[in-house]
Amino acid sequence: MEHIQSLIGPDYQLQWVVGTGGMSTVYLADDVRNQREVAVKVLRPEFSDNVEFLSRFRNEALASEDIISRNVVRTYDYRELVDPASGRNLCFIVMEFVRGESLADLIARRGMIPEEEALDILEQAAHGLRRIHELGLVHRDIKPGNILITQNGTVKITDFGIAKAASSVPLTRTGMVVGTAQYVSPEQAQGLDVTFATDVYSLGVVGYELLTGKRPFSGDSSVSVAIAHINNAPPALPTSISAPTRELIGIALRKDPTHRYGDGAELEKAISAARLGKRPPQPSGAARVVPAEASPTAVTAVASAVTGTSSASAPAVHPRTPNRPIPQSQIVEPKRSSSGFLVGFLIAVVVAFALAAGTVLYLNSQSFQPEPSVPPAPETVTITPETTPEPIPTITMTVEPTTSAPPVITTSEAEPTLPPISSVIVEPSEVIVPTSEPEPVPTVTLEPTDPTTNPGASQ
């Protein structure tokens, strides 16, 4: 600590270490010029030495100085120095020192928090997010460890800016990502762009943990937990929690960010309604179209985030959910193209040729006047030897008769089969294995069968 003190200078007198993390070490210090206690957060050298990270973090740290809210830890100062002994960068932030404990410590000490107290914590945190979002900024790392509670119950969000800078730069350490995988939003886990709704999701996970004493998703690794955030629905909250609060958390944890509350201000209003026992309002963006679910390539994005490798080259893919029906708009050709016109033209030519051929054959066979036949009912299959037609070749051109038209006439010369205009291939999402032997396919016979031998008679 003496070496760090010599680098920081006389403006801040370090007292002792109050916390360590995967990215920084936090000291309690005295602000000599302003006569106040402060927290000095010194970034680890491997982060400070990364030029791209340092540039992004500098911008975020300077922007956080403009966030003034009772529910956000103030940022007072930011400095970059060079250690003459090692030649490495030393980057540190001077922040408001909060006497109290983190929300993570509160949950570890008390477990499940009563609903009214949990909603009060969430509403204060949402108020802090409101101020952050009003400045056009996204926290990106909302979790119990970054939410502090003072001795008088005031909630303060801290560690603003670090996660955003680190998420854009491949780093060798994984402490930051491992620590936040339990609260990561689906879009973050897939490496997609984040919005204010990203912070809403993370705070929803915090609320779930406050109310139940456990996180909605768990797994053997950070990757499996992040994938669960992408694909799995959280377990339902117990009915001992009020219906307004259950719906509030459910909306905040929706996979689609356009179906969540859009920002901290909208979330704060919803929490206030739930505290009054009213049903929380629906998000303003709830009418927008739901995008496709996460794709298998999202697993690669999650693994890249956890291992610290770059995933910028992996495009985000949004395939259709296998069990979701295909909209009619995707079956009918949505817009005309030159190829579609050509196919239609060819079909028209073939139909015209078929009609012409049928007319010629009809004139040559006027001596044959068949009696009009009535098509059988769909439920009845009747085959008589007198009217059994000859087997139709594989490639034929057939003119269907009407009540006044000649019988079916097959040309001697086969025409090529045209390719289908369009096709929709739906790959099954799962293989269904029958639990019992399938019923045999009934056969069509000329004589009625004995009901006692009918395989379906016993069913």
Token reading at 332: 């009918």
Six token digits for residue 457: 């008679």
Token pair listed for 246: 């259950």
41 marked ligand binding residue: yes
Q: Determine which one of 105, 141, 256, 450 is catalytic.
A: 141
State how far the Cα of 363 lies from the Cα of 40, in Å rounded to an integer: 101
Q: Is 256 a catalytic residue?
A: no
Count CB atoms within 10 A of the CB of residue 361.
14
Q: Are 226 and 305 in contact (CB under 8 A)?
A: yes
CA 64 to chain centre: 29
CB count in 10 Å sphere of residue 395: 10
Beta carbons of 157 and 130 less than 8 angstroms apart: no
CB 75 within 8 A of CB 49: no
Which residues have a Cβ under 8 Å from the Cβ of 169 and sit 6 or more positions away? 50, 52, 53, 56
Query: Which position has the token pair 């009912």?
Result: 377
Chain-centre distance for alpha carbon 443: 49
In angstroms, rounded to a whole number, what is the distance separating the alpha carbons of residues 198 and 261? Answer: 10
State the binding site for ATP: 41
Q: Which residues have a catalytic role annotated? A: 141
